[in-house]
Amino acid sequence: MDDRVQGTFISEKVSKVRWKPENGYESHHFVTGSWDNENLNKVTLWSCPIDGIEEKDDPSLICSSPTDGDVTELKFVQNNDFLVSTSSGTVQLMTIVDVGDAANTVLKPTMSWRKLHSFKTGELGACTGFATYLGDVATVGENGSIVSLNLEKRQPLRIIESADSCSLRCILYLRHSEILTGNLRGQMKKWDLRIADDKSILTFMLSGDQLGATCITQHPTQQHTILVGGEDGSITVWDLRQTSYAVPLAAHSGLVSEMTFHPDRPDHLFSCSSNGESWHWDTSSVSRSTRPGQNMSWTGIDPLQNENPWLNTDAVKHRLNVVPLMPTLHKGVNSVDVNKDKVVVGCDNEAVYVISDVLNSRM
């Protein structure tokens, strides 16, 4: 394997992995969440050796905390606070206490919301994911409901009980009051949380094949551009200003498990798939070539719109620079996160891989 890839086996299948934010500085800590490990699932904080002295060392375990079920989503809300959702319908706010002192660092649960997505029969249903917007959190579950939470309040703000007749698989905040959900059949629904009526304001299908939506992500700067990952490995690009306009990309050959844009460099997208692929999409060359000021005006296309390579059908299909982050694994890659020039991926072969220098050209 490439010497930029550092793999570590951690004895549990990894469902989520996230860098701990450091106010925009480079991070040396990440958190993993495990799945499918009977009743032994947990979230774990890891520390990466700082470059230079012990560059080739494995990340070391700092501390962990058990969860009640598979970890289904994990997101940081503050530098030291993260939310974790589980397959038993719990969302928990965890705080990393004493991060400077590795021996005494602990993960402390500070707030938890339980049984958010129970079925009509009373059986516990999985929370399949959540999205955050400032202090607000919206969760979705297998029971097809949407629950809106606030980090300051113990009680849910609002529950849309029958938001969907199928399991909801993914959610995204489009803006503070608007959310987008995707279900098992690839039906996408847009909701306005200000409207008291429990009806979506817009519904559309990802494809005609009834294949599920697995993840959604939003372009960091052009927020009308939405990417939806599908069960068949396709990535569909939606321009929310024109709901009928979608560019389906035949991307991975297995279910797209996660996609994330680089927060500071929106030209770069990272995606991973259950067939073991983890990819780096570099659109900087496309963006540069269509920048206004070049001889583009005669085509009559709005140069500003064209600048977004994801909405440029031709560019997306033929000119995107896609490079594998590492060789294809024999088990699924479940999660990917990026911080500065380091990517971390978590996989079903019970390993996490830290890949450094990702933004340098690999060609």
Q: In the 8-state DSSP scheme, what is residue 292?
A: B
Binding residues for another protein, rule CB under 8 A, total: 51
Instruction: Please check whether residue 324 is in contact with residue 279, taking contact to mean a CB–CB distance below 8 angstroms.
Output: yes
In the complex with another protein, which residue's Cβ is closer, 175 or 199?
199
User: Which span sits near another protein by CB under 8 A: 24-32, 308-316, 327-335, 338-346?
Assistant: 327-335
- Contacts by 243-251, CB closer than 8 A, 24 or more apart: 243/202, 243/204, 244/204, 245/311, 247/310, 247/311, 247/313, 247/316, 247/317, 248/207, 249/316, 249/317, 251/279
Among positions 52, 100, 208, 293, the unique one binding another protein when judged by CB under 8 A:
208
Q: Coil, helix or strand for 94?
A: strand
- Residue 342 binds another protein, judged by CB under 8 A: no
- For the CB of residue 295, give the shortest distance to another protein in the complex, in Å: 44
From residue 138 to residue 157, the character string flagging contacts with another protein as x (rule: CB under 8 A) and all else as - is: ----xxx-------------
Could you count the other beta carbons within 10 Å of the beta carbon of residue 28? 17
Footprint (CB under 8 A) of another protein, residues 104-143: 119-121, 123, 125-126, 128, 142-143
Stretch that binds another protein, among 103-111, 177-185, 222-230, 292-300 (CB under 8 A): 177-185
Residue 6 interacts with another protein (CB under 8 A): yes or no: no
The CA distance from 271 to 5, in Å, is 16
Quick one: how far is CA 206 from the chain centroid?
18
Rg of the chain's alpha carbons, rounded to an integer?
Answer: 20
165 binds another protein (CB under 8 A): yes
- List the one residue from 27, 32, 275, 312 that touches another protein (CB under 8 A): 275
Taking the least distance from each CB to another protein, the nearer of 36 and 51 is: 36
* Residues composing the chain: 363
Q: Which residue in this structure is represented by tokens 């299908």?
A: 205
Confirm or reject binding of residue 210 to another protein (CB under 8 A): yes
Smallest gap from Cβ 26 to another protein, in A, equals: 28
Q: Which of 32, 72, 139, 225 binds another protein (CB under 8 A)?
A: 72
DSSP secondary structure string for all residues of 130-159: EEEETTEEEEEETTS-EEEEETT-SS-SEE
Dihedral sign of CA atoms 129, 131, 132, 138 in order: negative
Which one, of 224, 225, 222, 168, lies nearest residue 200 by Cα? 168
Among candidate residues 234, 235, 233, the one with its CA nearest the CA of residue 225: 235
User: Is there binding between residue 229 and another protein (CB under 8 A)?
Assistant: no
Determine how many CB atoms are found less than 10 A away from the CB of residue 118: 17
Binding mask 285-314 for another protein (x = CB under 8 A): ------------------------------
Q: 3-class SS at 318?
A: helix
Q: Shortest gap between Cβ of 23 and another protein (angstroms)?
A: 33
What minimum distance in Å lies between the beta carbon of 294 and another protein?
Answer: 42
Query: Which of the ranges 31-39, 171-179, 278-286, 302-310 carries the binding residues for another protein, by CB under 8 A?
Result: 31-39
Q: For residue 177, what are the CA distances in angstroms to 18, 76, 154, 195, 256?
A: 26, 20, 20, 9, 27
Q: How far is the CB of 88 from another protein (least distance, A)?
A: 10
State the nearest-atom distance from the C-beta of 127 to another protein, in Å: 11
Cβ 252 to another protein, closest distance in Å? 11
Nearest distance in Å: CB 95, another protein: 26
Please select the residue that binds another protein; options are 3, 23, 38, 298, rule is CB under 8 A.
Answer: 38
Nearest alpha carbon to residue 32 among 2, 60, 4? 60
The footprint of another protein (CB under 8 A) covers: 9-13, 15, 35-38, 70, 72, 87, 119-121, 123, 125-126, 128, 142-144, 164-167, 169, 183-185, 187, 189, 200, 203, 205, 208, 210, 212, 231, 254-255, 274-275, 330-332, 348-351
